[in-house]
Amino acid sequence: MKRRSAIATLGAISLGLTTPRLLKGEVLQGPRILKKEMLTTDILVIGGGTAGVVAAVQAGRAGKKIILVENGSMLGGTTTTGGVAFPGIFFAWGKQVIGGIGWEMVQEAVALNDDKLPDFSIPHGRQHWHHQVRLNGPLYAMVIEDKCVEAGVNLRFYETPVEVVQHKEGWKVTTVGKGTETEIVCNQLIDCTGNAFAVSLAGFNLLREKETQPGTLMFRIGGYSLDQLDMNRIKDEFNAAVDRGDLIKGEFLHVESLLRNAGDNVQHIAGADATTSVSHTIANINGRASLFRTLKFLRTLPGLTGLKVLDMQNETAVRETYRIDSIYQVTHEDYVTGRIFEDSVSYSYYPIDLHDEKGVVPKHLEEGRVASVPLRALIPKGSRNLIVAGRCVGSDRLANSALRVQASCMGMGQAAAAAAVLAHVQGKTPAEVAMSDLKKLLTEHGAIVPTG
Amino acid sequence: MRVLGTIFIVLLFFYGTTSTFSQQRREDTIRYFTTPTLPQNVADVNSILIDTGGISTPKDTLFQLLTKRGDPISYYREISTEVCFDGSCRLLRVNLYWNVTGRYLGFELPPAEFLSKAEHEPFNEQEYQQLHTILADSLSPIGNFNYQNLFPESSAAEGVDAVTRPTSKDVLPYVVKGAVFTTYKMWNLVYGQMQRDVEHATEAALNPGFLLDILNSDDIWDRYWALDRMRMLSDHPLQMKDKVVGFLCHSSYNLVLHTLTVLPEEWGEDSSFQQKLWLAFDCVPAALEPKVMEKLGTYKKLDRSIMLDITDRLPTMYGPVLTAALQCLRNYLPKEPEILLRVTALLKHNNPYIVKQIKKFLQEVPTID
């Protein structure tokens, strides 16, 4: 009895030793256990960027149960987090070619910011940016999140897929996030990662160029007066610094352009790749280091001693990584001739816009030409119940340099989701969906479907 | 005397042509014109004294060309100004013409006068045409340059336009080579205060028939201009309403959007106008269908046949069109059991997203139990 009582006392003493004294208002939280759960959904969209948001809203509005997984903290991808808040071109040769949900969101953000749309009836000539719609990035992020919530999309931020396996008539996707590990079972999977990451995890091959287009960290600088600058001297000093190796050749091709545009879309970060945490970390560090290096150098020059960084995005925006090995690859010839396919699901209109170490010289389409995206370019070869939307569309490099632009990605997002919805309803895979059904669904939801 | 002489020349020219202007040179007169807003059947000329803002000649005359009915059809001003840079000047004498909407119409040089470039070399035909094209471009980037950045910083001062001094390569695509200051000066004269003077003068002369004439112009700028000024008139005849509603079926997205934005609210008091607007629902770009609904929703009393049509089409509507359609019907539901019944029937729609929207909508209509 004495022994028992002694042990009990020891237990009480030991509990007293491990339990901290709680101050008023404090509660004790035990060690966190990874929250594992399993979810089921009709359609799963991976990637809440330009294409993914549109895809999720389309699926939600078509009445499907939908989950959207995004590894960042807000929606919009390149448009918002990347800061490239001028989402390409929606009008070609006086007519709207990309409409639907993407345009609805853009238009709403424009109206809420009291912005004015460019006059699309005036030809843009060689200045295609005259038809770009400038957005307020943070406002756009709120607009699109609201649209997703309104469409019943189950949003899951801070999550990324780590495994994609076939499961019955669909997929089981394992994601990890902050304190979570989730198995999501879905019938249809839409990869909107921009890097075909989910497609790759599902076991399909991807294509990549030996040298990809550079990325860009978007930022804004100020604190100087352009008309007070001795631009020739600045150019000479800048070029000399590049020659000495103090600055990296190609990061800012023209210092005059950097200063005139106050930093807007002027930087090139070679090899920028957003596919994995490791590659994106490198892209971000390189982007910021480039700006930091250049900022410190410019502040030593006359007229620029007060130069300041006024704003900077959280990450380096990426132009090109992987493309899917699709049933059909859109070629440069298809793009510039404005080929319309029997299974064209959306238009794309932009100059061939390949950025390289020498900069970019956009090659404009001939008058009246508007390219299109066939459904087959969105479907990985040999896959079932899997479709992509966005810059990883099956295409050759030159075609991709135009297809990658956000407006085109929005069109693809809506089309991919509509195909997935019909495939889910009809018990088919997206490649088997009848074009007449797909066109009808897309048109009902305001999208513009190519006719030829 | 100089004024009278000019009027004579202008009258002679206008009477001598039809409504079509062209790039023609008559003997010793150099003149370039765009398609005018209105046929140039000049019957009279009115002189309007304007404030130029200049020091040496604070007042000048804007000539308003009029029809027999007394409506303006175009304007011109005799420009006599110096183009100066780096202390050297040369005289620029030119008559600039504007349409009634302030849109550039053309230019004409006084008899025997010609424009010159560097080293006083006269413009050739191609350069006059280039100048004319630049002046016709209201959005030309030349409007964003100031006088000083027309030349690169390092180039030495050598004189007027004129000149051999190199033009900044940013500016080059938007000017006549060797005549940067003449181009710059003329563009800024066309789109400066005088353009606003022209617009004000036309606004002062507006009447329904005249505004309808401008709405009938093929030029999109003219149409925007007229649409923006409908509010200045209290009387909008049927012909004008029909013309404006007709714009809703135009292929220009911007024109359709602008038209929907400026449609006067009082037009909606007439149910026949409402019917025309509702008919346009099927020809506006899909992205603007919600805007038509929203417009119909602003009218105090919506025609019942339109309400029934909208209700019939509800089952096929999605997204913002459906939202706008429901809002359009919202105020009528308490007193329209037939429409209410049909909206309520959508609670059995096979799309759960629609069902959710309808439920939410019905909860927000306050007077329905």
- What pLDDT digit, counting tens, does each position of A56-111 carry? 999 999 999 999 999 999 999 999 999 999 999 999 998 999 999 999 999 999 99
Query: Which pLDDT band, with edges at 50, 70 and 90, does B160 fall under?
Result: very low
The answer on A351 and A328 residing in a single domain is yes
The answer on B163 and B23 residing in a single domain is yes
**A273 part of a folded domain:** yes
Mean pLDDT of B151-177: 56
Considering just the CA atoms, what is the radius of gyration of chain B in Å?
28
Chain B residues inside the 8 Å CB shell of A448? 286
Mean pLDDT of B310-336: 93
- What does pLDDT average to over chain A? 93
In chain B, how many domains are there?
A: 2
Q: Is the dihedral of CA A66, A70, A73, A77 positive or negative?
A: negative
- Name which of A330, A325, A343, A345 is nearest A402 in CA terms: A330
The answer on B213 and B191 residing in a single domain is no
Assess whether pLDDT exceeds 60 at residue B13.
Answer: no
**A3 part of a folded domain:** no
Measured CB to CB, residues of chain B less than 8 Å from chain A are 139, 146, 148-149, 152-154, 220, 251-255, 257, 285-287, 289, 316, 318-321, 350-354, 356
- Name which of B52, B290, B111 is nearest A107 in CA terms: B290
The answer on A144 and A45 residing in a single domain is yes
Q: Which pair of structure tokens corresponds to residue A370? A: 């508007």
Domain end: A293, A312, A331, which one? A312
The answer on A143 and A105 residing in a single domain is yes
Closest approach of chain B CAs to the CA of A65, in angstroms? 9
The answer on B359 and B223 residing in a single domain is yes
The answer on B12 and B125 residing in a single domain is yes
In our burial notation (b when 16+ CB lie closer than 10 A, e otherwise), range B240-269 reads bbebbbebbebebbbbbbbbbeebeeebbe
Q: Is the dihedral of CA B204, B209, B211, B216 positive or negative?
A: negative
Whether A231 and B153 lie within 8 Å, measured CB to CB: yes
Determine the residue among B251, B317, B353 to mutate to test chain A binding: the one whose Cβ has the most chain A Cβ atoms within 10 Å.
B353
Domain end: A312, A333, A349, which one? A312
Contact status, residue A87 vs residue A410, Cβ threshold 8 Å: yes
Q: What is the pLDDT of residue B120?
A: 76
Determine the residue among A41, A42, A122 to mutate to test chain B binding: the one whose Cβ has the most chain B Cβ atoms within 10 Å.
A122
Chain centre to alpha carbon of residue A46:
11
Give A217's contacts (C-beta < 8 A, 6+ positions apart): A267, A269, A284, A287, A288, A290, A291, A312, A313, A315, A316, A317
Q: Is the dihedral of CA B260, B263, B265, B271 positive or negative?
A: negative
Whether B153 and A232 lie within 8 Å, measured CB to CB: yes
Whether B353 and A60 lie within 8 Å, measured CB to CB: yes
- The shortest CB-CB distance from A94 to any of B149, B252, B354 is to B252
Chain B residues inside the 8 Å CB shell of A61? 318-319, 353
Chain centre to alpha carbon of residue A357:
23
> Which CATH number covers residue B266?
1.25.10
- Name which of A187, A188, A191, A141 is nearest A161 in CA terms: A191
Cross-strand partners of A348: A371
Domain end: B168, B196, B224, which one? B196
3-state secondary structure of A338: coil
Determine the residue among B254, B289, B317 to mutate to test chain A binding: the one whose Cβ has the most chain A Cβ atoms within 10 Å.
B254
Residues of the domain holding A367: 37-209+321-444
**B369 part of a folded domain:** no
The answer on B280 and B190 residing in a single domain is no
In chain A, how many domains are there?
A: 2
**A43 part of a folded domain:** yes
Contact status, residue B260 vs residue B278, Cβ threshold 8 Å: no
Chain B residues inside the 8 Å CB shell of A101? 319
The answer on A367 and A298 residing in a single domain is no
**B164 part of a folded domain:** yes
**B184 part of a folded domain:** yes
Q: How far is CA A334 from CA A86, A321, A361, A369, B176, in A?
A: 25, 21, 20, 11, 38
- The shortest CB-CB distance from B319 to any of A227, A232, A445 is to A445
ipTM of model: 0.84
- Name which of A229, A169, A161, A250 is nearest A200 in CA terms: A161
Residue A244: Cβ within 10 Å count: 8
**B203 part of a folded domain:** no
Q: How far is CA B211 from CA A342, B225, B233, B288, in A?
A: 47, 10, 9, 26
Interface list for A 57-96 with B (CB within 8 A): 60-63, 91, 94-96
Interface list for A 371-430 with B (CB within 8 A): none
Whether B253 and A96 lie within 8 Å, measured CB to CB: yes
The answer on B222 and B353 residing in a single domain is yes
The answer on A79 and A201 residing in a single domain is yes
**B314 part of a folded domain:** yes
Domain end: B196, B230, B264, which one? B196
Angle between helices B289-297 and B271-280 (to 10 degrees): 160
Query: Which pLDDT band, with edges at 50, 70 and 90, does B11 fall under?
Result: very low
Whether B220 and A119 lie within 8 Å, measured CB to CB: yes
Q: Which pair of structure tokens corresponds to residue A291? A: 């700006």
Angle, CA A405 vertex, CA A401 and CA A410 arms, to 5°: 140
CA distance A295 to B205: 57
The answer on B212 and B191 residing in a single domain is no
Stronger pLDDT, A105 or B157, i.e. the higher one: A105
Ranges of residues in chain A with a pLDDT under 70 are 1-19, 357, 359-360
**A375 part of a folded domain:** yes
What are the helix and strand counts (H, E) for chain B? 14, 7
Q: In this complex, is the C-beta atom of A443 within 8 Å of any C-beta atom belonging to chain B? A: yes
CA distance A26 to B113: 91
Query: Which pLDDT band, with edges at 50, 70 and 90, does B152 fall under?
Result: low
Domain end: B172, B196, B220, which one? B196
The answer on B212 and B188 residing in a single domain is no
Residues of the domain holding B276: 208-364
Q: Tens digits of per-residue pLDDT, B337-349?
A: 999 999 999 999 9
The answer on B179 and B34 residing in a single domain is yes
Q: Tens digits of per-residue pLDDT, B230-276?
A: 999 999 999 999 999 999 999 899 999 999 999 999 999 999 999 99
The answer on B148 and B46 residing in a single domain is yes
The amino acid at residue A422 is L
**A105 part of a folded domain:** yes
CA distance A205 to A211: 18
The answer on A432 and A341 residing in a single domain is yes
The answer on A195 and A78 residing in a single domain is yes
Q: Tens digits of per-residue pLDDT, B30-78?
A: 999 999 999 999 999 999 998 876 666 667 899 999 999 999 999 999 9
CA distance A442 to A449: 7
Chain A residues inside the 8 Å CB shell of B315? none
- The shortest CB-CB distance from A104 to any of B148, B253, B287 is to B287
**A379 part of a folded domain:** yes
Whether B154 and A232 lie within 8 Å, measured CB to CB: yes
Q: Tens digits of per-residue pLDDT, B189-243?
A: 999 999 999 999 999 999 999 999 999 999 999 999 999 999 999 999 999 999 9
User: Percentage of chain B surpassing pLDDT 90?
Assistant: 65
The answer on A199 and A67 residing in a single domain is yes
- Name which of A312, A313, A130, A132 is nearest A222 in CA terms: A312
The answer on A357 and A267 residing in a single domain is no
Contact status, residue A216 vs residue A332, Cβ threshold 8 Å: no
- The shortest CB-CB distance from B318 to any of A61, A96, A230 is to A61
Q: What is the pLDDT of residue B5?
A: 38
**B202 part of a folded domain:** no
CA distance A98 to A121: 15
The amino acid at residue A375 is L
CA distance A356 to A319: 11
The answer on A183 and A254 residing in a single domain is no
The answer on B217 and B177 residing in a single domain is no
Q: Which pair of structure tokens corresponds to residue A222? A: 């100020």
Closest approach of chain A CAs to the CA of B4, in angstroms? 39
Assess whether pLDDT exceeds 80 at residue B12.
Answer: no
Do strands A66-69 and A154-156 pair parallel, antiparallel, or not at all (unpaired)?
parallel
The amino acid at residue B21 is F
Q: In this complex, is the C-beta atom of A156 within 8 Å of any C-beta atom belonging to chain B? A: no
Q: Which pair of structure tokens corresponds to residue B235? A: 């009387």
Chain B residues inside the 8 Å CB shell of A63? 350-354
Residue linked to tokens 């008919």 = B279
Angle between helices A277-298 and A231-244 (to 10 degrees): 130
Among chain B residues, CA nearest to A126 = B173
Q: What is the pLDDT of residue B327?
A: 94
Q: In this complex, is the C-beta atom of A36 within 8 Å of any C-beta atom belonging to chain B? A: no
The answer on A393 and A307 residing in a single domain is no
Whether B153 and A230 lie within 8 Å, measured CB to CB: yes
- The shortest CB-CB distance from B251 to any of A95, A103, A117 is to A95
Q: How far is CA B360 from CA A150, A294, A424, B213, B347, in A?
A: 11, 54, 27, 48, 11
Contact status, residue B277 vs residue B249, Cβ threshold 8 Å: no
Chain B residues inside the 8 Å CB shell of A230? 153
**A68 part of a folded domain:** yes
The answer on A187 and A84 residing in a single domain is yes
- Name which of B113, B137, B114, B4 is nearest B63 in CA terms: B4
Chain A residues inside the 8 Å CB shell of B352? 63, 152
Closest approach of chain B CAs to the CA of A99, in angstroms? 6
**A143 part of a folded domain:** yes
The answer on B358 and B222 residing in a single domain is yes
Among chain A residues, CA nearest to B289 = A446
Residue linked to tokens 């181009």 = B183
Among chain A residues, CA nearest to B147 = A227
Chain A residues inside the 8 Å CB shell of B258? none
Cross-strand partners of A37: A182
Domain end: A312, A337, A365, which one? A312
CA distance B180 to B160: 9
Chain A residues inside the 8 Å CB shell of B144? none
Chain B residues inside the 8 Å CB shell of A107? 287
Chain A residues inside the 8 Å CB shell of B320? 104, 446
Residue B158: Cβ within 10 Å count: 15
- The shortest CB-CB distance from B253 to any of A91, A227, A443 is to A91
CA distance B336 to B301: 13
- What does pLDDT average to over chain B? 85
CA distance B193 to B49: 13
- The shortest CB-CB distance from A444 to any of B154, B253, B318 is to B318
Chain A residues inside the 8 Å CB shell of B285? 96, 99
3-state secondary structure of A224: coil
